[in-house]
Structure 1
Amino acid sequence: MGRLENGRKHVTFLHLLGAEMLKMRRTWILWLHILMPVLGIAVFLWYYSFSMWSAWGKISGYIEIVSIVCPVLVSFVSALAAEQEKQAGHFQNLFGTGRHRESNLAIKICLLMLWNLAALLLAVGGFGAGFSLMTDVKVPGKFYPILILITWVCQMFCYCFHLFLGIRFSRGISIGAGVVESLVAALMMTGLGDGIWQFLPCAWAGRFTGYYVQMTANADINKEFLRTQIETGGIVMLLMTLAGAGLLFMWFHNYEGRRMED
């Protein structure tokens, strides 16, 4: 019986995920995850074709821009997803029955995270493939996959936060917060972020990927210090992400569909 129940849950999850994908396929959400990475790759590879930066400097610069753009993209996508649910019966499809509303929210977050992963595979993997044709710099085979994984994991809290803003308040507030987060993310990559970046989710991707690039590119850098920063930031990120997701689902369980604009 236990195996049968697990099999049913697995089939139900895939069914709900497929239904959610069909529901969003005609929106701008999917195209944003394709067009923005392709445009970014084209612009940067064109610029790097005549730029005098070092090879590792070019890689680091591109990854920094990806990390800065992520909060805006997440906020925009989350706002569109929330707006779609509002227009489809004022969140009634998302609510479903009482015992299924948390599952519906989890499915939506999972699908958005999968699309985010696909966008990062295209943005970082596509850049890596193109850049390898332009230069003879040697990078480890796991370098780009690890960058993709780091950046992706750092987005979980942001999706929870911006879905809350989009559902509870409005599309404008979610996007506006994303713009502010991108500006903060850029600042946190400078010395201003030392000591506080761990507590700002928008800064996680930039700092973690930056440290990884430094550890890979520079054999003389203080790797012990970077490992300490990564370990401390990783613990804080894990705790904040779990707390953020838990609070989102607790709030959504009792949410009645009212928004600030209603």
Structure 2
Amino acid sequence: MYLLKILSSEWIKTKRTTIRLIVFVTPIIYPIFMLWYFSRYNDPSSWQIKIYGGFFEVLTVSLPIIISLFTGLISYQEEKSGNFINLLAGPVSRAKFYFGKLFLLILSAIVDIFLATFLMLLGMRYILHVDNIHYDLFLQGVLLSVIGSLILFSMHMLISFALGMGASIAIGGGGFLISAIIGATVVGDNIWQFIPWAWTVRLSQVPMLLMPEAKHAFGMQLSNLYFQELLKGIVPAIICFILVTIIGLIWFNRWEGDKSYE
């Protein structure tokens, strides 16, 4: 219950800010754009797998820059409202403050990605008229996209409060390029599991291995490869998320409100 109160308090702080604009507008605009894009194609043999791959690839490649902006805005908001006084001298412990903001970020991402996917599925059914939609695999894509991006939330929370919004966005921009190159191309086939920015892209694409279209194209059962790819991404993603979150919490408890560049 107390966590819900903290989440509610953190959400109220975002009223009339750019944060809410991002949260409310992005999951609506994105599927509309993707539906318009795929409305120009109609290849029944591979249409659904192309829609899935394109939808989640563009989404997950963009997550590093979106998360860096989101966390940067939250840090900037706290800095401008009393130079972090609520964090440093408020009644809420720093640990609860830290987890409240982190959970708000993650929860917002879950809701946004799910909503965008839900609207995309509706569009596929009623606008594009795609047959036999693999709803379960799209939902897997949502879950794996979130799991792969968890470390980015912890990392950018730490960067935003330690170095400021500018540094967070700059690193997010670099992460965007890395995710596009390592996560979305063959360049990263042998190294993606070691690159945090590539995890969300690669994991989101794994459910495609279970689509009948993929099995038909490769002429083989891909279930073993499916589980191998899952383990390669999920294990480091969860372990590193926990480690970075603990490091961030320790730093948060010792922080005095100054930035390293000051």
TM-score by length of 1: 0.90
Whether the 8 Å CA contact 2:75–2:160 is kept in 1: the answer is yes
Residues 79-123 of structure 1: per-residue CA shift (max 9 Å, x gap): 000000111111121234598111101001111111111111121
Task: Find the counterpart in structure 1 of residue 41 from structure 2.
Answer: 51
Residues 218-241 of structure 1: per-residue CA shift (max 9 Å, x gap): 223533123212113221112111
1:149-160 alignment to 2 at 5 Å? 149-160=143-154
SS at match of 1:205: helix
Whether the 8 Å CA contact 2:72–2:160 is kept in 1: the answer is yes
Structure 2: gaps spanning 5 or more residues: none
Task: Find the counterpart in structure 2 of residue 7 from structure 1.
Answer: none
Task: Find the counterpart in structure 2 of residue 246 from structure 1.
Answer: 246
RMSD: 1.8
1:26-105 alignment to 2 at 5 Å? 26-52=16-42, 54-55=46-47, 56-96=49-89, 100-105=93-98
SS at match of 1:155: helix
Deviates more, 1:33-42 or 1:71-80: 33-42
Task: Find the counterpart in structure 2 of residue 193 from structure 1.
Answer: 188
Task: Find the counterpart in structure 2 of residue 179 from structure 1.
Answer: 173
Task: Quote the Cα distance in structure 1 between the aligned partners of 2:98 and 2:112.
Answer: 21
Deviates more, 1:237-246 or 1:74-83: 237-246
Task: Quote the Cα distance in structure 1 between the aligned partners of 2:16 and 2:89.
Answer: 22
Whether the 8 Å CA contact 2:114–2:142 is kept in 1: the answer is yes
Structure 1: gaps spanning 5 or more residues: 1-9
SS at match of 2:190: coil
Task: Find the counterpart in structure 1 of residue 198 from structure 2.
Answer: 203
SS at match of 1:138: coil
Identical residues among aligned pairs (%): 22
Give the length in aligned residue pairs.
252
Pick from 117, 130, 133 the counterpart of residue 139 of structure 1.
133
TM-score by length of 2: 0.90
Aligned partner letter, 2:73: L
